[in-house]
């Protein structure tokens, strides 16, 4: 199944292998534009036969950057470089997605940082300003503007980053959202910000829409996968196509990571909310990926660090599964 095509909202991926979004911190000019590094790094994985390349967390506002070296999509000036990147990746037969992101209280850039509540992540991080209604409206608008620019830049897929303790995740979790207005308190209220971001993105984007979540807070008072099954039902009702299931990083908490540790979350959401899911986290072999797909635990396999170590990982996985992969063509005689 790993090498079977997968169609989602009219876009067909040639296999089920997705390059997981990974920040490169490579914008040496600090203006968020695509650099040579991105133009080499991502197309290399397309040559390596990845089906879908999800580019790194890309900031919808300068204040929402994880670091000053993040890619950005907060201005029309970002479109040209991103378009050059999507063109290169697509020429090599892969599809390309963009992860739209806002770091919230985890932003490390100069100036004011914002979050649902004025609570720092830990003692080394700054205290964010509590977002006003205007801040909320402007940020939702920034996600919509980012989606429109992503469309103009030629992306096939948009993923909303709602995981890892960044802004949207901070609204979802009761550990980080202590608001008393309609954006905090109840389960529904904590979902409202993500719901409005999804709605705003869908107004300008009719392609495949993924949402990455942290399906477990690893904290006694935090959210667990049971909560995320309920959130995923709402996402499905709003027209989200796939939930990319990660976990943690909402508050400082130790994670016991082992091969496939997040797969049970992807499986629970897939069956509990009847929505396509992506599995991610210490998936490193073709047989492991095949097991996840064949047992109906997820629909797509996101590979992170293994694709940093080996851009030709799909070839390695195919060999392991005994599948002849006659690609990339210019290399075939040499493999
Ligand atoms: C990441 N990860 C990550 N996740 C995300 O949603 N957006 C991002 O921009 C990043 N950035 C990032 C950078 C680097 C260098 C690493 C190693 C990781 C998390 C990543 O997508 C993935 O979920 C984890 O790495 C777990 O999968 P692997 O690496 O075990 O396959």
- Per-position DSSP letters for 227-244, written without gaps between them: HHHHHHHHHHHTT--EEE
ipTM of the complex: 1.00
pLDDT at position 326 is: 87
Per-residue pLDDT, averaged over 29-53, amounts to 97
Cβ of residue 260 lying under 6 Å from some atom of ligand 1: no
HSE-up of residue 98 (Cα within 13 Å, Cβ side): 32
User: At CA 177, angle to CA 175 and CA 178, rounded to 5?
Assistant: 100
Query: 59: annotated binding-site residue?
Result: no
Give yes or no for residue 22 CB within 6 A of ligand 1: yes
Q: What is the pLDDT of residues 11-20, one digit of tens each?
A: 999 999 999 9
| 304 annotated ligand binder | yes
Q: Is 94 annotated as ligand-binding?
A: no
What domains sit in the chain, N to C, each tagged with a CATH number? Answer: 6-321 (3.20.20.70)
pLDDT band at 334 (very low <50, low <70, confident <90, very high): confident
Ligand 1: centre distance to CA 21 (Å): 6
Per residue in 75-85, pLDDT (tens digit) is 999 999 999 99
Q: Read off the pLDDT of each residue in 166-193 and give the average, rounded to a whole number.
A: 98
pLDDT tens digits, one per residue of 246-262: 999 999 999 999 999 99
Q: Ligand 1: distance of its center to the CA of 150 in Å?
A: 21
User: For ligand 1, atom 13, which residue shows the shortest CA distance?
Assistant: 22
Looking at ligand 1, which residue's alpha carbon is closest to its atom 1? 22
Residue, of 91 and 333, whose pLDDT is higher:
91
What is the rounded distance in angstroms from the CA atom of residue 328 to the CA atom of residue 332? 6
pLDDT tens across 98-150, in order?
999 999 999 999 999 999 999 999 999 999 999 999 999 999 999 999 999 99
Dihedral (Cα; 109, 111, 114, 120), 10-degree rounding: 70
Determine the pLDDT at residue 177.
98
Q: What is the pLDDT of residue 335?
A: 77
Q: Give helix 187-204 / helix 225-237 axis angle, nearest 10°.
A: 40
What are the tens digits of pLDDT across the range 181-199?
999 999 999 999 999 999 9
Question: Which tokens belong to 104?
Answer: 């919230």
What is the percentage of the chain residues whose pLDDT exceeds 90? 98
pLDDT digits (tens, 9 = 90+) for 211-222: 999 999 999 999
Per the annotation, does 231 bind a ligand?
no
Q: Is 99 in the pocket of ligand 1 (CB under 6 A)?
A: yes
Ramachandran angles phi, psi of 310, nearest 5°: -145, 100
State both tokens at 199.
């709605």
Which two structure tokens, joined as six digits, stand for 2?
């790993």
With H, G, I as helix, E, B as strand and everything else as coil, classify residue 50: coil
Rounded distance from Cα 36 to ligand 1 centre (Å): 21
Which pLDDT belongs to residue 154?
Answer: 98
Residue (of 318, 326, 315, 331) closest to 48 by Cα position: 315
- Ligand 1 atom nearest residue 246's Cα: 23
Query: Annotation-wise, does 246 bind a ligand?
Result: no
Decide: 57 in ligand 1 pocket, CB within 6 A.
yes
Q: What is the pLDDT of residues 300-310, one digit of tens each?
A: 999 999 999 99
Residues 124-158: b if buried by 16+ CB within 10 A, e if exposed: eeeebeebeeebbeebbebbbbbbbbbbebbbbbb
Q: Give residue 173's pLDDT.
A: 98
Tell whether ligand 1 has an atom less than 6 A from the beta carbon of residue 325.
no
């Amino acid at each position: 199944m790993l090498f079977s095509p997968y169609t989602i909202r009219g876009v067909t991926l040639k296999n089920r292998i997705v390059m997981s979004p990974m920040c490169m911190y490579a914008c040496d000019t600090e203006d968020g534009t695509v650099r040579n590094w991105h133009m080499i790094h991502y197309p290399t994985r397309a040559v390596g036969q990845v089906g879908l390349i999800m580019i790194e967390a890309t900031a919808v506002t300068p204040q929402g950057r994880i670091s000053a070296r993040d890619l950005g999509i907060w201005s029309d000036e970002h479109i040209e470089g991103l378009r050059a990147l999507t063109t290169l990746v697509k020429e090599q037969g892969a599809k390309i997605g963009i992860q739209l992101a806002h770091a919230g209280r985890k932003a490390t850039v100069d100036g004011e940082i914002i979050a649902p509540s004025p609570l720092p992540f830990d003692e080394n991080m700054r205290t964010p300003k509590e977002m006003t209604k205007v801040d909320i409206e402007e940020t939702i608008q920034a996600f919509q503007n980012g989606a429109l620019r992503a469309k103009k830049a030629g992306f096939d897929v948009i993923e909303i980053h709602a995981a890892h303790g960044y802004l949207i995740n901070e609204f979802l979790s009761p550990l980080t959202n202590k608001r008393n207005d309609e954006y905090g308190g109840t389960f529904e209220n904590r979902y409202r910000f993500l719901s409005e971001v999804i709605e705003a993105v869908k107004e300008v984007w009719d392609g495949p829409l993924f949402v990455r979540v942290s399906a477990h807070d690893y904290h006694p008072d935090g959210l667990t996968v049971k909560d995320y099954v309920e959130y995923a039902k709402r996402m499905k009702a709003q027209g989200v196509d796939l939930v990319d299931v990660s976990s943690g990083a909402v508050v400082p908490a130790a994670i016991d990571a082992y091969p496939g540790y997040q797969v049970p979350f992807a499986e629970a959401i897939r069956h509990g909310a009847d929505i396509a899911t992506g599995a991610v986290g210490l998936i490193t072999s073709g047989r492991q990926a095949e097991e996840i797909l064949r047992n109906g635990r997820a629909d797509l396999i996101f590979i992170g660090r293994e694709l940093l170590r080996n851009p030709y990982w799909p070839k390695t996985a195919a060999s392991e599964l005994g599948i002849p992969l006659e690609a990339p063509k210019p290399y075939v005689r040499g493999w």
